[in-house]
Amino acid sequence: QQQVKQSPQSLIVQKGGISIINCAYENTAFDYFPWYQQFPGKGPALLIAIRPDVSEKKEGRFTISFNKSAKQFSLHIMDSQPGDSATYFCAASMGSGGGADGLTFGKGTHLIIQP
Amino acid sequence: DVKVTQSSRYLVKRTGEKVFLECVQDMDHENMFWYRQDPGLGLRLIYFSYDVKMKEKGDIPEGYSVSREKKERFSLILESASTNQTSMYLCASSFGLGGYTFGSGTRLTVV
């Protein structure tokens, strides 16, 4: 049973546009929701994370929107740049929030930003 | 910067071989994890450890075991490699609320 559903599987956005990736979760015990960015040949790297006590978190061009009642969260990349082309994973964990018991990942979104 | 180092970037092993994947982190993190990454399936947790000599099964532990004799080192063992274990293996470590740091991965091919 997949606990974190991510969409779309792939996404093409023009340079300067807004990239939006969505995730939905099932387990209401999840309390930590990070996004990871992965470039080819590299491991995933933490991009931004949110907890359920806030509805939005912004870091530079990257914003997480969180809807607790709908059990959904999304990543918005403003003014998308070719350097943002990568695979993005949403994830969730429970307990300490730091994920001592492991993160559950979505299946990933392959994002291409066209110049 | 936290560094998680996986000993091999690429490995080719034969079916039935015992395979060891090594991971070392240099920031005294309590928690360490092994994931496998497959196209279209994302990252799936194999095993994790929250302390020396402690281990917990993740979502797909079958065919794997782990060893954590020292805090900085977490090894993944394929007892008898099979072709369906051909994958990218990622090690990660974490401490508290600081998020996970991943290694660059080991691409294992079992022939």
Question: Which residues fall within 8 angstroms of residue A106, CB to CB, at 6 or more apart?
Answer: A4, A5, A6, A23, A89, A90, A91, B42
Tell me, yes or no, if A59 comes closer than 8 A to chain B by beta carbon. no
Contact B48 A101 (CB under 8 A): yes
Q: Which domains does chain A have, with CATH numbers?
A: 4-114 (2.60.40.10)
The architecture (CATH level 2) of B4-110 comes to Sandwich (2.60)
Buried b (16+ CB within 10 A) or exposed e, A13-50: beeeeebbbbbbbeeeebebbbbbbbeeeebbebbbbb
Query: Tokens standing for B62?
Result: 């079958």
Question: Which residues fall within 8 angstroms of residue B6, CB to CB, at 6 or more apart?
Answer: B21, B22, B23, B89, B90, B91, B103, B104, B105, B106
Find the CB nearest B42 among A98, A100, A108.
A108
Secondary structure of residue A54 in the 3-state scheme: coil
B63 has pLDDT over 70: yes
B23 has pLDDT over 60: yes
Sign of CA dihedral B101, A41, B46, A92: positive
Q: Which residue of B has its CA nearest to A88?
A: B42
Predicted pLDDT at B100: 87
Predicted pLDDT at A31: 87
A56 has pLDDT over 70: yes
Q: Which residue of A has its CA nearest to B43?
A: A105
Tell me, yes or no, if A43 comes closer than 8 A to chain B by beta carbon. yes
Predicted pLDDT at A102: 76
Question: Which residues fall within 8 angstroms of residue A100, CB to CB, at 6 or more apart?
Answer: B30, B31, B48, B50, B94
Find the CB nearest A98 among B59, B90, B94.
B94
Instruction: Please choose, from the candidates A75, A77, A78, the residue with its C-alpha nearest in 3D space to the C-alpha of residue A89.
Output: A75
Predicted pLDDT at A97: 47
Find the CB nearest A89 among B42, B45, B56.
B42
User: For the segment A78-114, what is each residue's pLDDT rounded down to a tens digit?
Assistant: 999 999 999 999 999 876 545 556 788 999 999 999 9
Q: Show residues of chain B in contact with A23, CB under 8 Å.
A: none
User: For the segment B69-111, what is each residue's pLDDT rounded down to a tens digit?
Assistant: 999 999 999 999 999 999 999 999 987 665 789 999 999 999 9
User: For the segment A20-39, what is each residue's pLDDT rounded down to a tens digit?
Assistant: 999 999 988 888 899 999 99
Structure confidence at residue A19 as a pLDDT band (50, 70, 90): very high
CB A49 within 8 A of CB A99: no
Q: Show residues of chain B in contact with A9, CB under 8 Å.
A: 40
Predicted pLDDT at A20: 98
B25/B38 Cα distance (integer angstroms): 23
